[in-house]
């Protein structure tokens, strides 16, 4: 440690030290002469203005008498006051001063050795903190943890981004202070309470983080340093600078951010948003570096990618080494099949064959056929050798609901019985299932896009941009105004609905499927992709899928995706099959079970009800 510059020992940002001292350090090649201003505490006298010492492009100081929660900002020579690029808390919003956060005061016990449930056996429940409960806070989520664990039966919650964003209403992908926790949700203490409570309930916590862009409002990073580069362009303008001058500092910015969530907040895993939009021509991709850093401290990484490229999950150095990836193809194929929609990206999917293809090999678009949505270009690569448990699959998530014109859900589009058969396909699939909040009772509340930008011009641009982005889907009706409070309010879940029909029956169906997934060896563990057999009848829109465990237990699911009664001869795997579950059972809100209690292998005549699934064991 340098005797005259002790702050060089510590990382960038504000780091509390023993004896009520704090190290402040900032990368600021564009701000020579930058100073630190520590604001007075309540009832205090005046601010303290402190000269920062330079060391190359980094400036810093160790300051006495600084407590947890003290507010500060950096002052430019021209008088501009800006939050810390690595602010841990923004108590007055994205434009206000930063606040010191002492992680030792968050009340965590020593870190766990690792997630209680292996990543491959998780059932993930994605939620938006602001609309999951009327409270719209981390504490509101805590109140629902017993429901998620005991009544429903998931193993992990995935929080949409909680990094500080402008206003109080936002999906979270407009975050601008990546190290700070949204104050309206409960700030750092609220997030810490939620993580502790989830772990006590036996639930893992996954956090959605965004490293492909930052939001426009409150984004002051350019004032300090080249966090962005004109070398690459993205849908949001200049790319985050991962491979241009100054890139090492930017790469450490996101790597340290990822480590903060896992190491300091004890979050189990991260979901990396849209890694296909991260442009990095370095010898080692930044996603690979993030994944390695997170895994080194006991966390896991799930990448969202529409590239259909195994590179995301292949081991390093050939791949990026993520633990899993969001795979859209099963969703797209199922959605096109049960809704009949063929616009936008759904035009690339057609029929039961694509559902079967996604179940067996992960990707439908694997470079072997053109993507008409992409202008006829061949898209993707084969997922050969990628285990099924590396694919996170769903019938709904925030994108697939919220990126519709009105945020309508699949139950409203295709009907509840069609939702049930699609849900069974996902929950019996070799992949890692993900449910989107409220899906499990066919919630009627939409999930439209919402914001609360303070800049009227920006608000108008967001609204018009979304209309242009989804024009190819030809959806009818006006897009709800993202800035209107009523748009946000329409998305708040009504948990009481799950206690009345038809929602009660849908919830019972999901609970039964999740219980089966927990208990049946064929649906758990590794090597799931190698223990699956399928057969389809495209004319009848029907499919059967067999799953089996290494210990010999077998499961057979017969799916009817047709909207009409189907009569056909089916050649079933050889066994004596006993009925386990029928989606049309009255306890699931159906018209009544018609499934044979027993089926024998071989050619069997079957009469399949519209939109139903029968599950048998042997």
pLDDT tens-digit series, residues 335-373: 999 999 999 999 999 999 999 999 999 999 999 999 999
How many Å apart are CA 486 and CA 471, to the nearest integer?
Answer: 23
Q: Collect all residues with Cβ–Cβ distance below 8 Å to 263 and sequence separation of at least 6.
A: 111, 297
| Tokens encoding 403 | 């990126």
DSSP string for residues in 192-226: HHHHHHHHHTT-EEEEEE--S---STT--HHHHS-
pLDDT beneath 70, residues of the chain: 1-3, 110-115, 465-477, 528-529
Three-state SS letters, 325-348: EECCHHHHHHHHHHHCCCCHHHHH
- CATH for 532-617 is 2.60.40.1180
3-state helix, strand, coil in the chain (%, to 5): 30, 25, 45
Q: 117-321 is classed in which CATH architecture?
A: Alpha-Beta Barrel (3.20)
User: What are φ and ψ of residue 208, in 5° steps?
Assistant: -80, 125
User: What are φ and ψ of residue 283, in 5° steps?
Assistant: -60, -35
Q: Collect all residues with Cβ–Cβ distance below 8 Å to 3 and sequence separation of at least 6.
A: none
State how far the alpha carbon of 62 is from the alpha carbons of 8, 15, 256, 441, 495, in Å: 9, 9, 21, 54, 50
How many Å apart are CA 24 and CA 227, to the nearest integer?
Answer: 19
- C-beta of residue 601 within 8 angstroms of C-beta of residue 577: yes
Three-state SS letters, 488-504: HHCCCCCHHHHHCCCHH
Q: Running DSSP on this structure, what letter comes out for residue 39?
A: P
pLDDT, position 466 = 65
Helices (H), 494-574: 503-519
| Tokens encoding 507 | 């919830």
State how far the alpha carbon of 125 is from the alpha carbons of 132, 136, 175, 206, in Å: 11, 17, 22, 9
pLDDT, position 436 = 98
Candidate CATH numbers 3.10.450.50, 2.60.40.10, 3.40.50.2300, 2.102.10.10; the one for domain 6-82: 2.60.40.10
| Tokens encoding 91 | 């108590």
At residue 397, the 3 state secondary structure works out as coil
Q: Give the active site residue among 84, 273, 329, 440.
A: 273
How many helices (H) and strands (E) are present in the chain, helices listed first?
A: 14, 29
pLDDT, position 112 = 60
Same fold, 6-82 and 117-321: no
- C-beta of residue 28 within 8 angstroms of C-beta of residue 225: yes
How many Å apart are CA 345 and CA 329, to the nearest integer?
Answer: 10
Q: Give the active site residue among 268, 280, 304, 356.
A: 304
Q: What's the predicted TM-score (pTM) here?
A: 0.96
Domain extent listing, the chain:
6-82, 117-321, 532-617
Residue 304 known to be catalytic: yes
Q: Count of alpha carbons within 13 Å of 258, Cβ hemisphere only?
A: 30
């Amino acid at each position: 440690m340098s005797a005259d510059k002790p702050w060089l020992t510590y990382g960038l940002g504000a780091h509390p030290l023993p004896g009520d001292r704090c190290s402040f350090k900032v990368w600021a090649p564009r701000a020579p002469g930058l100073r630190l201003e520590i604001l007075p505490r309540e009832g205090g006298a005046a601010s303290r203005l402190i000269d920062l010492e330079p060391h190359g492009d980094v400036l810093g100081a160790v300051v006495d008498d600084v407590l947890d929660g003290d507010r500060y900002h950096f002052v430019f020579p021209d008088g501009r006051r800006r939050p810390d690029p690595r602010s841990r808390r923004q108590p007055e919003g994205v434009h206000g001063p930063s606040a010191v956060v002492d992680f030792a005061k968050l009340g965590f016990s020593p870190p766990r050795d690792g997630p209680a449930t292996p990543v491959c056996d998780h059932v993930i429940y994605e939620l938006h903190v602001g609309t999951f409960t009327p409270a719209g806070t981390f504490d509101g989520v805590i109140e629902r943890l017993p429901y998620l664990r005991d009544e429903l039966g998931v193993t992990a919650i995935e929080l949409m981004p909680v990094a500080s964003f402008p206003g109080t209403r936002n999906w979270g992908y407009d975050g601008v202070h990546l190290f700070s926790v949204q104050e309206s949700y409960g700030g750092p203490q609220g997030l810490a309470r939620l993580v502790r409570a989830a772990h006590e309930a036996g639930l893992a916590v996954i956090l959605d983080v965004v490293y492909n862009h930052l939001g426009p409002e409150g984004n002051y990073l350019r004032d300090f340093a080249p966090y962005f580069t004109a070398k690459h362009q993205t849908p949001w303008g200049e790319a985050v600078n991962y491979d241009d001058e100054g890139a090492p500092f930017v790469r450490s910015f996101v790597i340290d951010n990822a480590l903060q969530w896992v190491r300091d907040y004890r979050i189990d895993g991260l979901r990396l948003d849209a890694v296909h939009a991260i442009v990095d021509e370095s010898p080692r991709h930044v996603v690979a570096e993030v994944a390695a850093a997170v895994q080194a401290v006991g966390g896991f990484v799930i990448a969202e990618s529409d590239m259909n490229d195994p590179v995301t999950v292949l081991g390093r150095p050939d791949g990026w080494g993520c633990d899993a990836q969001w795979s859209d193809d099963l969703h797209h194929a199922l959605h096109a099949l049960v809704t009949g929609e063929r616009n936008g990206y759904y035009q690339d999917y057609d029929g039961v064959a694509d559902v079967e293809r996604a179940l067996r090999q992960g990707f439908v678009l694997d470079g072997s056929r053109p993507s008409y949505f992409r202008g006829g270009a061949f898209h993707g690569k084969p997922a050969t050798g990628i285990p099924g448990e590396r694919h996170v699959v769903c019938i709904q998530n925030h994108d697939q609901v919220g990126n519709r014109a009105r945020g309508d859900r699949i139950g409203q589009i295709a009907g509840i019985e069609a939702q049930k058969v699609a849900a069974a396909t996902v929950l019996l699939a070799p992949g890692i299932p993900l449910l989107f909040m409220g899906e499990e009772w066919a919630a009627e509340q939409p999930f439209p896009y919402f914001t609360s930008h303070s800049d009227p011009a920006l608000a108008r641009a967001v609204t018009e941009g979304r209309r242009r982005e989804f024009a190819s889907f030809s959806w009818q009706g006006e897009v709800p105004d993202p800035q209107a409070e009523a748009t946000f309010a329409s998305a708040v879940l009504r948990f009481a609905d799950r206690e009345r029909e038809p929602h009660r029956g849908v919830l019972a169906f999901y609970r039964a499927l999740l219980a089966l997934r927990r208990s049946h060896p064929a649906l758990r563990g590794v090597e799931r992709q190698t223990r699956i057999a399928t057969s389809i009848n495209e004319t009848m829109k029907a499919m059967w899928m067999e799953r089996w465990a290494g210990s010999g237990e077998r499961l057979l699911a017969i799916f009817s995706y047709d909207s009409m009664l189907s009569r056909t001869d089916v050649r079933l795997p050889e066994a004596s099959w006993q009925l386990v579950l029928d989606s049309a059972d009255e306890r699931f809100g159906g018209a009544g079970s018609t499934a044979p209690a027993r089926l024998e292998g071989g050619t069997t005549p079957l009469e399949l009800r519209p939109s139903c699934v029968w599950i048998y064991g042997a």
